[in-house]
A and B are shown apart, each in its own frame.
Chain A
Amino acid sequence: MQANVSVRRFNPDEEDPKSYDQEYQVEVDENFTVLDTLIKVREEIDGSLALRCSCRASICGSCAIRVNGHAVLACKTRVSEHLSEDGSFRVEPAGNQPVIKDLVVDMNPFWDKLRAVEPYMQPSMPEPEAEYLAPNDVMLHLVDVMGCIMCGACVSDCTVLEIDKNFLGPAALAKAYRFVADTRDVEDDKRLKMYNEYGGMWDCTRCGECVTVCPKGVAPMERIMALREKAIEAKIPTGSYDGAAYGYRHSLVFEDIVSHNGRLDETKLVIKTLGMFNLPKLIGLIPVAMNAAFRRKMPPLLHPAIPGVGQVRRIASRINAIKKEAAK
């Protein structure tokens, strides 16, 4: 069958370089991947098309790009599943990273952020003569995180990075989690404090995009949430970054409100998280509230409890009892 692929291109060698779209017609079959298609374009039609690729088997992480607006590994994505009714699909470079040429993006910020989490094991010293002992289930759990191939698909579609370049991002934080969860690494405390800072674990908004687009099932957001749990357990959230303290309180208040009312009261959530008497912060939120009201997105001021809230409260108290039991 014939596929029309529209490729977002960019040539830095031009005098006044601008992005533009170019269409190619390619004969594809049922099993054709997006990568097969792009390679065919590059090899048979237009040798100037730049993209990174190598292994063709979703292990080297080179070919993360956007297909129809979402980040994918080109070699893992079948064309037939992305064709529109008129037999076309759209390819763009990965997002949140500057474009070098066509589908090739600058990954230096990606590696810099990876570097920032101290991405290497820091075990107890001196080293034993043989291996460090470690339970197999811990190692098996880590296999899922080590499955990360650093393709940057999560970074491409991260909604926080879109507005805050300072965020460490899903890949670096998933890597960070790999060390905190590794029983052989003994620097959990130092690490959790480090990841607790501005740009760290509390700046994820839990949109879930990284989980959706990760081609290897690493589920970075879930690793970030696990980091938060560990930080809370270790009573870390008292660092220099007030976002960390608020993040922790936000989770407690969230639970408190839902278990009393059966639903979330967003106004109360904000006020209780920041603190009733934290006037500077609360005043600072007035423009946000006005903007929300203007766009008719202001939550209602009154939140009556849902019908049958008693059941929700019973569930909440059961959970608390179980937690207490587990803590013993």
Chain B
Amino acid sequence: MYSHDVLVLGAGLAGMRAALEAAKTGANVAMLSKVYPVRSHSNAAQGGINAALTDRGDDWTDHAYDTVKGSDFLGDQDAIEVMCREAGQELINLEHMGVIFNRDEEGHLGTRAFGGQRKARTFFVADITGQAILHVMFEQILKYNVRVYDEWYATTLIMDGNRCGGVVAMEMRTGDIHAIQAKATILATGGSGRVFEPSTNALICSGDGMSLAYRAGAPLMDMEMVQYHPTTLKGSGVLLTEGARGEGAYLINTKGERFMEKYAPNMMELASRDVVSRAETIEINEGNDIDGCVLLDCRHLGTAKIMERLSYIHEISLDLVGVDITKDPVPIRPGVHYQMGGIKTDIDGRCWDPNGAWKGVEGLFAAGETACVSVHGGNRLGANSLLDTVIFGRRSAIGAMDYASQNSHLNFSENDWVNGEKAKLQGFLDNDASGDLVAKLRMDMAVAMDKGLGVYRTEDGMQEALQAVQGMRERFKKVVVQDKGKSFNTNLIFALELGCMLDCAETIAIGGIERKESRGAHSRTDYDKRDDENWMKHILLRQGDGGEVTKEYMPIVVTQWQPEERKY
């Protein structure tokens, strides 16, 4: 049987950073990913990565305050402090690994402004920062010869009681099912954006890790906090970076007004994302739109700046909607972008361990978008996601190695787990042709979620979405997998992903219904105010043995910033 001390699922930035940290110490570590590492969705982060560098006269506590305020005071301040304090050193680590970064005139790292922050502390590589960092991290993975299970799909966590001892996974090329034993397992599987349509997220972002953990008994926290990014392209919903506004681009409506004047007179276009997305939605609902879109206007930045710093969004605007952003404003609208919620972890990635008691799943760790530490709370600041991945990727590896050094492998029967999984998969293949196609079911779910859990939400709308999703669970049992073959059966993989997305969709809707206030990205027209008296707490959802969902609450950790009114 394959066996490792530390097994990392997912090979985006969080996963690779974790694997790298473990590999550097000589640990027996491996990564498993359903795509080649450089295909991971960290690629799509465009604008940059935040860090307060003290030699630039910045202070990590300022960064932390901006993050706390951005989170609408739902973020845990101890975790935010850790992230912002370590940001500077980790940024320098990335540079030392070889990330190229734009520079200032003296050859030092250069910055750009980003939303929700009072200081320009976003370090960047044109508008391909995620790609530039991801590829350098992959270079390091090659340098340290980390074992990678390329194009393997994890289908279940191997559990004994409350303890995780590895995974069962399908080698996609052959279709063979294997068990992989691990003392510690790190989930770094990214977000769940495909639960919605449209979405900026890649087709692979199906919340697999959240679902794996949830089914194993781990709680998902604050799932209702889904970020709508203000500038996603008309049609496909592909992302156009906040960096455009960071460089000075305007948002305008059909009347040509810079409408953010009305909603955030100080920060204008650079207010936090939830605020800008709501403003756009109001403009669109009031009829100041073109085909459901407002406009991102980059023209005044000039061709030279656009081609140096925004060349990628220039490329995709031209490719996908035929707009040359140096000449014309481009139609955009708010679109689903990021899951602030996720697998509840502590600041060392553990799922999770308050003073020696594993209250989620023992031996399980999580980092990046799939985790909820929580540093983003109700609304993530732009350029904090890349930071989150590397900080908590690294920390989870240290936590996992520590756990692995003190614990032995879980004993289990490889055959039982492999055969059990084979039978489950065969069940899908045996479905007759009378059910729904995978894509049809996913689209129905995603449209229902978009309708019920959009930028503005109501009790009725969310209930309707929840009922629709729960109804789909029945249809899912009969879902049709047309490809009956073994090799590279993507059809079967999509069916499994859809199962994961349904878990995410259901918990998002339940969390949304439960939180009876408006905070961060969760805006309810029936409870339109933030309610600090009753809702300064996290919502944790667990799956019971019978599939029922149980709710728990946890207080928000406040260290030095008391809740205050949030204005931009």
Residues of chain A at the chain B interface (Cβ within 8 Å): 11-13, 31, 33, 42-44, 46-48, 50-62, 76, 78, 100-102, 104, 107, 111, 114-115, 119-121, 123, 127, 129-136, 139-140, 142-143, 146-150, 182, 184-185
Q: What 8 additional pairs, Cβ within 8 angstroms, besides A31-B320, A46-B482?
A: A50-B488, A54-B204, A55-B44, A56-B238, A58-B316, A59-B43, A132-B96, A133-B108
In the complex the two chains form, what is the Cα distance from A104 to B97 in whole Å?
32
In the complex the two chains form, what is the Cα distance from A76 to B315 in whole Å?
10
Contact B98 A184 (CB under 8 A): yes
B425 sits at the interface (CB 8 A): no
* A interface: dominant SS: loop
B282 sits at the interface (CB 8 A): no
Question: What residues of chain B lie closer than 8 Å to A61, measured between beta carbons?
Answer: 38-39
Contact B142 A119 (CB under 8 A): yes
In the complex the two chains form, what is the Cα distance from A261 to B55 in whole Å?
61
In the complex the two chains form, what is the Cα distance from A184 to B490 in whole Å?
42
Q: Quick one: given A58-B315, A60-B39, are A115 and B142 in contact (CB under 8 Å)?
A: yes
Question: What residues of chain B lie closer than 8 Å to A12, measured between beta carbons?
Answer: 487
What are 27 pairs between A and B in contact, CB < 8 Å? Answer: A11-B487, A33-B320, A43-B439, A47-B494, A48-B482, A48-B485, A52-B39, A54-B41, A57-B236, A57-B238, A59-B131, A60-B35, A60-B40, A60-B44, A78-B319, A130-B55, A131-B92, A131-B108, A132-B95, A139-B101, A139-B102, A143-B125, A146-B100, A146-B132, A149-B43, A149-B131, A150-B36
Residues of chain B from 310 to 365 with CB closer than 8 A to chain A in the complex: 312, 315-316, 319-322
Q: Quick one: given A47-B481, A136-B105, A146-B128, are A58 and B319 in contact (CB under 8 Å)?
A: yes
Chain B's nearest CB lies how many Å from the CB of A143? Answer: 5
Question: What residues of chain B lie closer than 8 Å to A134, measured between beta carbons?
Answer: 100, 103, 107
Closest CB pairs A-B (n = 3): A121-B98, A47-B482, A43-B439
Chain B's nearest CB lies how many Å from the CB of A281? Answer: 38
Question: What residues of chain B lie closer than 8 Å to A114, measured between beta carbons?
Answer: 142
Complex: chain B residue closest to A48, CB-CB: B483
In the complex the two chains form, what is the Cα distance from A182 to B105 in whole Å?
17
Residues of chain B from 37 to 58 with CB closer than 8 A to chain A in the complex: 38-41, 43-44, 55
Contact B43 A60 (CB under 8 A): yes
Contact A31 B107 (CB under 8 A): no
In the complex the two chains form, what is the Cα distance from A62 to B39 in whole Å?
6
How does the 8 Å CB contact mask read for B84-124 relative to A, with 1 for contact and 0 for none? 00000000100111101111111111100000000000000
Question: What residues of chain B lie closer than 8 Å to A185, measured between beta carbons?
Answer: 98
Contact B235 A54 (CB under 8 A): no
Question: What residues of chain B lie closer than 8 Å to A53, measured between beta carbons?
Answer: 203
In the complex the two chains form, what is the Cα distance from A182 to B481 in whole Å?
49
Chain B's nearest CB lies how many Å from the CB of A10? Answer: 10
Contact A50 B322 (CB under 8 A): no
Residues of chain B at the chain A interface (Cβ within 8 Å): 35-36, 38-41, 43-44, 55, 92, 95-98, 100-110, 125-126, 128, 131-132, 135-136, 139-140, 142-143, 173, 202-204, 235-236, 238-239, 308, 312, 315-316, 319-322, 437-440, 480-491, 494
Complex: chain B residue closest to A54, CB-CB: B202
In the complex the two chains form, what is the Cα distance from A13 to B319 in whole Å?
37
Number of residue pairs across A and B with beta carbons under 8 Å? 172
Contact B139 A119 (CB under 8 A): yes
Chain B's nearest CB lies how many Å from the CB of A288? Answer: 39
Complex: chain A residue closest to B140, CB-CB: A120
Complex: chain A residue closest to B145, CB-CB: A115
In the complex the two chains form, what is the Cα distance from A53 to B204 in whole Å?
9
Contact A60 B55 (CB under 8 A): no
In the complex the two chains form, what is the Cα distance from A61 to B36 in whole Å?
10
Contact B109 A57 (CB under 8 A): no
Chain B's nearest CB lies how many Å from the CB of A50? Answer: 5
Contact B316 A101 (CB under 8 A): no
Centre residue among A54, A101, A104, A107 by max chain B CB count within 10 A: A54
In the complex the two chains form, what is the Cα distance from A13 to B44 in whole Å?
34
Report which of B96, B102, B128, B320 forms a contact with A59, defined as CB distance below 8 A.
B128
Chain B's nearest CB lies how many Å from the CB of A121? Answer: 3
In the complex the two chains form, what is the Cα distance from A136 to B319 in whole Å?
28
Complex: chain B residue closest to A55, CB-CB: B202
Question: What residues of chain B lie closer than 8 Å to A127, measured between beta carbons?
Answer: 96
In the complex the two chains form, what is the Cα distance from A123 to B92 in whole Å?
14
In the complex the two chains form, what is the Cα distance from A137 to B17 in whole Å?
28
Contact B36 A107 (CB under 8 A): yes
Question: What residues of chain A lie closer than 8 Å to B316, measured between beta carbons?
Answer: 57-58
Question: What residues of chain A lie closer than 8 Å to B321, measured between beta carbons?
Answer: 31
Question: What residues of chain A lie closer than 8 Å to B142, measured between beta carbons?
Answer: 114-115, 119-120
Contact B488 A131 (CB under 8 A): no
Q: Quick one: given A47-B437, A57-B44, are A182 and B98 in contact (CB under 8 Å)?
A: yes
Contact B43 A31 (CB under 8 A): no
Chain A's nearest CB lies how many Å from the CB of B401? Answer: 22
Contact B487 A142 (CB under 8 A): no
Question: What residues of chain B lie closer than 8 Å to A46, measured between beta carbons?
Answer: 482
Question: What residues of chain A lie closer than 8 Å to B202, measured between beta carbons?
Answer: 54-56, 60
Q: Quick one: given A47-B481, A104-B488, are A143 and B100 in contact (CB under 8 Å)?
A: yes
In the complex the two chains form, what is the Cα distance from A46 to B36 in whole Å?
25
Chain A's nearest CB lies how many Å from the CB of B419? Answer: 21
Question: What residues of chain A lie closer than 8 Å to B483, measured between beta carbons?
Answer: 47-48, 50
Chain B's nearest CB lies how many Å from the CB of A207? Answer: 25
Chain B's nearest CB lies how many Å from the CB of A109? Answer: 13
Contact B135 A13 (CB under 8 A): no
In the complex the two chains form, what is the Cα distance from A182 to B99 in whole Å?
10
Contact A147 B143 (CB under 8 A): no
Chain B's nearest CB lies how many Å from the CB of A36? Answer: 8
Contact A143 B126 (CB under 8 A): yes
